[in-house]
Amino acid sequence: ASGSEENDVVVIGGGPGGYVAAIKAAQLGLKTTCIEKRGTLGGTCLNVGCIPSKALLHSSHMYHEATHSFAGHGVKFSSVEIDLPAMMAQKDKAVSNLTRGIEGLFKKNKVNYVKGYGKFISPSEVSVDTIEGVSTVVKGKNIIIATGSDVKSLPGITIDEKRIVSSTGALALQEVPKKLIVIGAGYIGLEMGSVWGRLGSEVTVVEFAPDIVPSMDAEIRKQFQRSLEKQKMKFMLKTKVVGVDTSGNDVKLTVEPAAGGDQTTLEADVVLVSAGRSPFTAGLGLDKIGVETDKIGRILVNDRFATNVAGVYAIGDVIPGPMLAHKAEEDGVACVEFIAGKHGHVDYDKVPGVVYTHPEVASVGKTEEQVKALGVDYRVGKFPFLANSRAKAIDDAEGIVKILADKETDKILGVHIMAPNAGELIHEAVLAINYDASSEDIARVCHAHPTMSEALKEAAMATYDKPIHI
């Protein structure tokens, strides 16, 4: 594969950060090698993250619609069944098609692909124990660390991926658990909780913090939590997990109030630990070459993604910033542009965030709490999907658009959408925020009728003036 020939760029890790950086580097005419230990490309996101979770969210949503909504639309079945192996097979097919697709893109762009575990032997040399069992050294003028992140467990809890699972195990359960406890009310826990809840599990979410998804705008979060509760998800907030017992038929989880107090025991067939992810740098040899990390193991980089070691860069989940696939991709492109002597740019304040439940919640920019904390005078414009004709036409009208804009200049500061498809709707706002648009700019743009997007236009009207339809 690589031989000892020197590369312009070597990327360690083939996730969304790494594979995108490798393709971009090759497109810029740089001789590029990407090292990935997993055996397939696409990293956490494609193999055990974004893609399989969205596949299962879609399949379980279809089942839920079939059992809860179809009859109301005049579509009747004599019976509806879950075929879990088929559902899993469709998910696996989506994953393998996409991972193979990236291999195809590597070939097309002439990225050299080395399958194996990489570790630094010097700032310009990486030794790789390949999957085929040989050892090789890959040399590069520039080396990009894109090793991503891994599941974080909790003290005293051992993940066996059968009864105590991480998101990876939760994406591959072989039967629908009767009772599922989710530890951690971040987006991954809520998405996986939704999947199994729709398929019939009784889902309880245990969260140490007082709120679910702490980064979310509080008003939207409240509506979101209510919506999940309507879907029968139970929440135990301000609750600490103190012990787990797997000796019996059921898993027993002992919890107590976060502030201390009486303990209770919860029982479940499966416990999902989704209490966050940690940067992954095990076995990489960072200390050998002296790469600086912070207290929680994230690699420190400057605004050009360069570490403290000349020629060594880092991107994606392994560095500070939102742990999201699209952020990793942006890092990858910008990092390589800097290496190629061009200019790169990523603004972490304008990275959209999406929770892919139903309804979805998507946001960009600041929450109302953040705007308040900044002491900025602001206006809020809101529009509920109950007043949106398309949402009413399809009988899927739960949700709202909320826009925050500077009171004086009308510049948009933050946009928060809860709606079916909010993850698609948000991009109009992402574009607007990136171009420093005002809410009036959005309101004066003609939006097709009837679309969900009209709710964004109306919320924009409500921000500086009055909406029409409410």
- Of 10-18, 210-218, 223-231, 334-342, which segment contacts ligand FAD by CB under 6 A? 10-18
- Catalytic residue, chosen from 68, 73, 345, 449, is 449
Q: Cβ 291 to ligand FAD, closest distance in Å?
A: 13
The binder of ligand FAD chosen from 43, 177, 344, 365 (CB under 6 A): 43
The binder of ligand FAD chosen from 2, 32, 33, 44 (CB under 6 A): 44
Q: Cβ 357 to ligand FAD, closest distance in Å?
A: 11
| Contact flag: residue 60 with ligand FAD (CB under 6 A) | no
According to DSSP, residue 299 is labeled B
C-alpha to C-alpha distance for 169 and 4, rounded to whole angstroms? 39
Residue 253 φ/ψ, nearest 5 degrees: -115, 120
The binder of ligand FAD chosen from 9, 23, 25, 50 (CB under 6 A): 50
| HSE toward the beta carbon, residue 64, CA cutoff 13 A | 19
Residue 119 φ/ψ, nearest 5 degrees: -145, 145
- Beta pairing class for 112-122 and 125-130: antiparallel
Binding string, residues 85-124; x marks residues near ligand FAD by CB under 6 A: --------------------------------xx------
Amino acid at 377: D
| Contact flag: residue 16 with ligand FAD (CB under 6 A) | yes
Q: What DSSP letter does each residue of 344-395 carry, written as one string? A: ----GGG--EEE-SSSEEEEEE--HHHHHHHT--EEEEEEEGGG-HHHHHTT
The binder of ligand FAD chosen from 183, 251, 266, 324 (CB under 6 A): 324
Catalytic status, residue 449: yes
- Of 322-330, 366-374, 384-392, 434-442, which segment contacts ligand FAD by CB under 6 A? 322-330
| Contact flag: residue 313 with ligand FAD (CB under 6 A) | no
Structure tokens that stand for 416 in this block: 């928060």
| Contact flag: residue 317 with ligand FAD (CB under 6 A) | yes
- Of 13-21, 84-92, 247-255, 343-351, which segment contacts ligand FAD by CB under 6 A? 13-21
| Contact flag: residue 328 with ligand FAD (CB under 6 A) | yes
* Residue 171 · residue 192 · CB < 8 Å: yes
| Contact flag: residue 422 with ligand FAD (CB under 6 A) | no
* Residue 213 · residue 322 · CB < 8 Å: no
- Of 33-41, 371-379, 390-398, 429-437, which segment contacts ligand FAD by CB under 6 A? 33-41
Q: Cβ 402 to ligand FAD, closest distance in Å?
A: 22
Q: 187 or 235, CB closer to ligand FAD? A: 187
Q: Percent helix, strand, coil in the chain (nearest 5)?
A: 35, 25, 40
| Contact flag: residue 15 with ligand FAD (CB under 6 A) | yes
Structure tokens that stand for 468 in this block: 């029409």
| Contact flag: residue 36 with ligand FAD (CB under 6 A) | yes
* Residue 427 parent element (H or E): helix 422-434
According to DSSP, residue 106 is labeled H
* Residue 11 parent element (H or E): strand 6-12
Structure tokens that stand for 301 in this block: 């980089």
Q: 49 or 184, CB closer to ligand FAD? A: 49
- Beta pairing class for 32-36 and 6-12: parallel
| Contact flag: residue 236 with ligand FAD (CB under 6 A) | no
Within positions 138 to 157, which residues make up the interface with ligand FAD, using CB under 6 A?
146-149
Residue with tokens 């925050």: 404
Structure tokens that stand for 75 in this block: 């579509």
Structure tokens that stand for 172 in this block: 């591959």
Considering CB under 6 A, how many residues would be counted as binding ligand FAD?
36
- Looking at the annotation, which residues are catalytic? 449
Q: Report the interface residues with ligand FAD, using CB under 6 A.
A: 12-18, 35-38, 43-45, 49-50, 53, 117-118, 146-149, 167, 188, 280, 283-284, 316-317, 323-326, 328, 356
